[in-house]
Chains A and B, each alone.
Chain A
Amino acid sequence: MFARVDASTALAPNPGSPSPGPRTPGRNLHRFANPGRFLRQSGAVLPWLSLAALLFTTTGLVWGLFFAPADWQQGDAVRIIYIHVPAAWLASAGYFALAVCSAVSLIWRHPLADLAAAEIGPVGAGFTALCLATGSLWGRPMWGAWWVWDARLTSVLVLFFLYLGHVALVRAFDDPQRGYRAGAVLALIGVVNLPIIKFSVDWWNTLHQPASILLTGAPTMYLPMLWPLFVSAIGYSLCFAAIVIARTRAAVMERRIRALLMARAEAAQ
């Protein structure tokens, strides 16, 4: 009646114990691609990660929104930077993570990378939407416009559409494998947009100002205004990671349940 199926081996690309052989990058990656191991390790990490995410985000936002100094020109309106800029960073960083998962999925065919890519999409779209919305709210009082079609704003809007396209494409096929494959190709094509977003403000005339934080010079931001931005950015990153890990865990368990139900249905026949 009850057929015991170990879904972790059913999902792994190489069922059974890996045969000893030369240590290649692919073989090392397989250790992390084992869904059973992922569930165990992420389950131990996730509560602490969530707690740290909450702590850093709250500290950064409260510090920035209530205690950091106001800008001499923008006044208190500058405080939206603590919500807007980390969201913008995570929108790009999240897309990079999506692209890495897609490359791993296409080259090494790791099932966990497929699941992670599918779960990063909606989270990244959410952070991009937050970035666009807060940017618009900031632009109206400071620039005098909710939206302009300059290179920075347009390329971030394209990033938002790439995320939405990925979310839709991955879920558009009856066979999930075909969805993952198509989504991975779309995600990798979209990577060309990342340098365009980053350098749009340097390559072209834009209304959006260039970066304040540079690798090659002092940040053009008063340091007591900068520290809460960093804390907030660390908090946003941890939030992003925690949400994606929680979603990926749910997706792994969902697949296990589906595999068990399928096995049970087959056994009943």
Chain B
Amino acid sequence: MTRKRRRLWLLVACGVGLGSATALALSAFRDNLVFFVAPSEIAEKAPAAGRTFRLGGLVEQGSVHRGKEAGQPTAEFRVTDGKGTVEVTYIGILPDLFREGQGVVALGTMRPDGTFRASEVLAKHDETYMPKDVEEALKKTGHWNPNAGPPPPASTWNALDPRQKKG
């Protein structure tokens, strides 16, 4: 075995060791690496009352009620992940991207009545990008209601010509 060959194998061995150590460490800290918890996870294992955490999910269709309290805008809405739902109350300005069917991440605490009191709401954009006329064409043909959830499979719309009659 030449010295070069020996160095190569040494490097490969170090790489394998380092890689598996990292994989083990990451899987051990799995729960701490998430940015938010989903409503169904809260239903399974409720976080301690008063503990601040982030709640993430889609804004449920038809659940948004906006109001005004002491000059501040307020909002009540439900966050869902399809398996569980949590009622959220928030005082403050919502991000521009906030709408029904949009992903959101809210920072706050659970209250004794089971609602989530948010002190900060961030909009979570999904990985789809489409122009306005394509979105309108999908809505018009009944292929997608943006308020109800994520869009249909990309292959059905990413080459769509919105000027054409419904295809």
Query: Which residues of A approach B to under 8 Å, CB–CB?
Result: 26, 69-74, 78, 81, 103, 106-108, 141-145, 148-151, 188-189, 191-192, 196, 203-207, 209-212, 217-226
Which B residue's beta carbon lies closest to that of A78? B129
A145 to B90, CA, bound (A): 17
Complex contact B96–A148 (CB within 8 A): no
B33 touches which one: A189, A204, A223 (CB < 8 A)?
Answer: A204
Of the stretches B7-15, B43-51, B64-72, B108-116, the one at the interface is B7-15
Q: A220 to B11, Cβ gap below 8 A? A: no
Contact A220 B122, CB 8 Å, known A72-B134, A106-B11, A107-B8: no
Complex CA distance for A78 and B95, rounded to whole angstroms:
16
> Closest CB-CB distance, B30 to chain A, in whole Å?
8
Q: Indicate with 1 or 0, residue by residue over B13-30, a CB within 8 angstroms of chain A CB atoms.
A: 011001100100010001
The smallest beta-carbon distance between A4 and chain B, in angstroms, is: 32
Task: Decide if B125 touches A143 in the complex (CB within 8 Å).
Answer: yes
Determine if A219 and B135 form an interchain contact, defined as CB atoms under 8 angstroms apart.
Answer: no
B151: nearest residue on chain A (CB-CB)?
A220
Q: How long is the Cα–Cα vector from A150 to B33 in the complex, in angstroms?
A: 8
Q: Which residue, of A103, A189, A205, A226, has the highest number of chain B Cβ atoms within 10 A?
A: A205
Instruction: Name A140's closest neighbour in chain B (CB-CB).
Output: B95
Q: Given A78-B129, A220-B158, answer yes or no on A107-B121 (Cβ-Cβ < 8 Å).
A: no
B159 at the interface (CB under 8 A from A): yes
- Name the residue on B nearest A139 (C-beta): B122
Is the CB of B166 closer than 8 A to any CB of chain A? no
* B153 contacts chain A at the CB level, 8 A cutoff: yes
B158 touching A209, Cβ below 8 Å: no
User: Smallest Cβ distance from A85 to chain B, in angstroms?
Assistant: 11
Smallest CB separation, B127 vs chain A (Å): 4
In the complex, how many angstroms separate the beta carbon of A165 from the nearest chain B beta carbon?
16
**Do A103 and B11 touch across chains, with their CB atoms under 8 A apart?**
yes
Q: Is B75 an interface residue (CB 8 A)?
A: no
List 19 A–B pairs whose Cβ atoms lie within 8 Å, in order of A's numbering. A72-B136, A107-B11, A143-B95, A143-B125, A144-B95, A144-B122, A148-B35, A149-B35, A192-B18, A192-B19, A207-B122, A207-B124, A209-B127, A218-B155, A220-B126, A220-B154, A221-B128, A222-B130, A222-B158
Residues of B near A188 (CB, < 8 A) are 11, 14-15
B105 — which chain A residues lie within 8 A by C-beta? 207
Q: B131 in the interface, Cβ–Cβ < 8 Å? A: yes
B97 touches A218 (CB 8 A): no
Q: Which residues of B does A touch, CB under 8 Å?
A: 4, 7-8, 11, 14-15, 18-19, 22, 26, 30, 33-38, 56, 95-97, 105, 120-136, 151, 153-155, 157-160
- Give every chain B residue within 8 A of A150 (Cβ-Cβ): 35
CA distance A203 to B4 in the complex (A): 37
Note all chain A residues with C-beta closer than 8 A to B18.
189, 192
B124 to chain A: closest CB distance in Å? 6
Contacts of A217 in B (CB 8 A): 153-155
CB-CB < 8 A to B159: which residues of A?
A: 223
For B7, what are the chain A residues with a Cβ–Cβ distance below 8 Å?
Answer: 106-107
In the assembled complex, which residues on chain B have CB atoms less than 8 Å from the CB atom of A106?
Answer: 7, 11
Give A144 to B123 CA distance when docked, in angstroms: 7
Q: Tell me which of B7, B120, B127, B151 has the highest count of chain A C-beta atoms within 10 A of its own C-beta.
A: B127
Q: Are A205 and B37 in contact (CB under 8 A)?
A: yes
**What's the Cα separation between A224 and B129 when bound, in Å?**
11
The smallest C-beta distance from A140 to any residue of chain B, in angstroms, reads 10
**Which residue of B8, B130, B154, B155 is within 8 Å of A72 (Cβ)?**
B130
Q: What residues on A are CB-neighbors of B154 within 8 Å?
A: 217-221
Whole-angstrom distance from the CB of A59 to the nearest CB of chain B?
Answer: 20
Whether B155 lies near A196 (C-beta < 8 A) is: no
Interface centre among B22, B123, B125, B134 (most CB of A within 10 A): B125
